[in-house]
Amino acid sequence: GAVVSQHPSWVICKSGTSVKIECRSLDFQATTMFWYRQFPKQSLMLMATSNEGSKATYEQGVEKDKFLINHASLTLSTLTVTSAHPEDSSFYICSASLPGGYGYTFGSGTRLTVV
């Protein structure tokens, strides 16, 4: 089946540094990918939609300059959390739309802890 690989699975960084999270579609081409953030005991919150070769579309309230999204190829989208602060600590999950528009598959998530 269609698999999305997300890396790293967890990361700890110092406040003020930047962290990059990768999301790769392993056996299919993902024209559209999505990035979510999930705080403890809460649901997934959509941050942005990224389309290959174009700028990402951010949800209201999500700072595009802080959460940089790049979708330069049909198999890779990256999320960079710039100048991370403790309040950015969260579980970040990527998702990709399946070919033909028939459903979505999700990465395994990245636990970001900013200290």
Partner 1 sequence: LAKTTQPISMDSYEGQEVNITCSHNNIATNDYITWYQQFPSQGPRFIIQGYKTKVTNEVASLFIPADRKSSTLSLPRVSLSDTAVYYCLVELKGGATNKLIFGTGTLLAVQP
Residues that bind partner 1 (CB under 8 A): 4, 6, 31-32, 34, 36, 43-46, 49, 51, 91, 93-95, 97-98, 100-109, 111
Minimum distance from CB of 104 to partner 1 (Å)?
Answer: 6
Minimum distance from CB of 101 to partner 1 (Å)?
Answer: 4
Minimum distance from CB of 12 to partner 1 (Å)?
Answer: 15
- Which is closer to partner 1, CB of 31 or CB of 83? 31
* Helix/strand/coil (H/E/C) assignment for every residue in the chain: CCCEEEECCEEEECCCCCEEEEEEECCCCCCEEEEEEECCCCCCEEEEEEECCCCCEECCCCCCCCEEEEEEECCEEEEEECCCCHHHCEEEEEEEECHHHCCEEECCCEEEEEC
